[in-house]
Amino acid sequence: MGTTQDKMMQDVRLAGYAKRTQEAYVAAARDYVKFHWRSAEEMGQSEVRQFIGHLFNVRKLGAGRIKQYLAALRFLYAKTLGRPEAVSFICWPKQPQRLPAVLAICEVFALLKALRVAKYRVLAATLYATGMRVSEVCRMKVTDIDAARGVIRVIGKGNKERLVMMSPRLLLVLRTYWKLVRPARPYLFTNDDGRPMNPKSVSKALTKAAVEAGIAKHVTAHVLRHSFATHLLEHGTNLRTIQVLLGHSSIRSTTIYTQVSAATIAKTKSPLDQLLPTG
């Protein structure tokens, strides 16, 4: 792919995509070129169609993975190569909507208790207390904490900046953790070499702790984020506020939590209650 790959990497970086998205797009474009053994400049709509057919019929990728490939090809031709007609036919595959897993408050407590290593326990508490993504917490710096205003500055997807709440209890937990662990500056959660913690190691720790705590659900860092949003909703926080806290660009991404809020659903009166006497 050569110079086209370099140009595409530069373009996705300038577009403000997250690093993982940049890498995924370039890898997908590289996959496409390798499939045909020709440069992207030499190919067009016919080759794009063949490759998409291969993804669907031979590799049998799921809708989410297919969508990532389609987005990469669309970016490659529409932006980097300036030939949008080559990908104008692309439509997004419909993804089955599944409700996110959510922990009960007692399960969150049991999970935190089962995390024996301080940095994992405090990191998990931070995930649940703020709704931040695990990558955001792993890159969290001491200077991001504004104790006076009660907020944490977060650099999210696409380098978008937002503020999340810093509860007095979380501040106390973080201060105690700092005195005990003394992580290498500027980051709050680090490996032994002083670099930010790897989200994969956090996932492993959470999985192990969930088993020890007897939690049957598959627990990930994102489940704590889902639990944060759902519990806020159940306690009366409006969707717009939750959207801002989570860093969702669209309110539609946030409305999923109205479907998993047990308290909201339980408070909704059934029409049967109006039809039949309760006594």
How is 65-95 classified by DSSP, letter by letter? HHHHHHHHHHHIIIIIS--GGGGTT--PPPP
pLDDT digits (tens, 9 = 90+) for 158-182: 788 999 999 999 999 999 999 999 8
Q: Is residue 160 annotated as part of the catalytic site, yes or no?
A: no
Q: Is residue 257 annotated as part of the catalytic site, yes or no?
A: yes
Q: Is residue 235 annotated as part of the catalytic site, yes or no?
A: no
Confidence of residue 192 (pLDDT cuts 50, 70, 90): confident
Q: Do residues 186 and 66 both lie within one domain? A: no
Q: Is residue 218 annotated as part of the catalytic site, yes or no?
A: no
Task: Say which range, 106-115, 209-218, 248-257, has the weakest mean pLDDT.
Answer: 248-257
Q: Do residues 54 and 135 both lie within one domain? A: no
Query: What is the pLDDT at residue 206?
Result: 97
Listed residues 87, 115, 140: the one ending a domain: 87
**Residue 137 forms part of a structural domain:** yes
**Residue 129 forms part of a structural domain:** yes
- How many domains would you assign to the chain? 2
More confident residue, 279 or 42: 42
Phi, psi (5° rounding) for residue 194? 90, -5
Listed residues 87, 118, 148: the one ending a domain: 87
Query: What is the pLDDT at residue 264?
Result: 65
Query: What is the pLDDT at residue 76?
Result: 95
pLDDT over 70 at 78, yes or no:
yes
Q: Which of 30, 36, 157, 162 is catalytic?
A: 157
Tokens of 252: 């539609």
Q: pTM for the complete prediction?
A: 0.70
Residues ≥6 apart with Cβ < 8 Å to 56: 66
Average model confidence (pLDDT) across the chain: 89
**Residue 272 forms part of a structural domain:** no
Q: Which of 119, 225, 226, 231 is catalytic?
A: 225
Q: Do residues 75 and 115 both lie within one domain? A: no
Residues ≥6 apart with Cβ < 8 Å to 127: 134, 137, 221, 224, 225, 228
pLDDT over 90 at 86, yes or no:
yes
pLDDT over 80 at 101, yes or no:
yes
Q: Is residue 225 annotated as part of the catalytic site, yes or no?
A: yes
| Mean pLDDT across 143-167 | 90
Q: Do residues 64 and 182 both lie within one domain? A: no
Confidence of residue 194 (pLDDT cuts 50, 70, 90): confident
| Mean pLDDT across 198-211 | 95
Confidence of residue 277 (pLDDT cuts 50, 70, 90): low
Listed residues 87, 114, 142: the one ending a domain: 87
**Residue 100 forms part of a structural domain:** no
Query: What is the pLDDT at residue 234?
Result: 87
Confidence of residue 274 (pLDDT cuts 50, 70, 90): low
**Residue 96 forms part of a structural domain:** no
Q: Where residue 24 sits, what CATH number does that domain have?
A: 1.10.150.130
Residue type present at position 210: A
pLDDT over 60 at 59, yes or no:
yes
**Residue 48 forms part of a structural domain:** yes
**CA distance to 25, 68, 208, per residue, from 72 (Å):** 5, 6, 35
pLDDT digits (tens, 9 = 90+) for 28-56: 999 999 999 999 999 999 999 999 999 99
Q: Which of 69, 77, 187, 257 is catalytic?
A: 257
Q: Do residues 245 and 201 both lie within one domain? A: yes
Q: Which of 119, 121, 133, 231 is catalytic?
A: 133
Question: Structural domain of residue 32, as residue ranges?
Answer: 3-87
**Residue 251 forms part of a structural domain:** yes
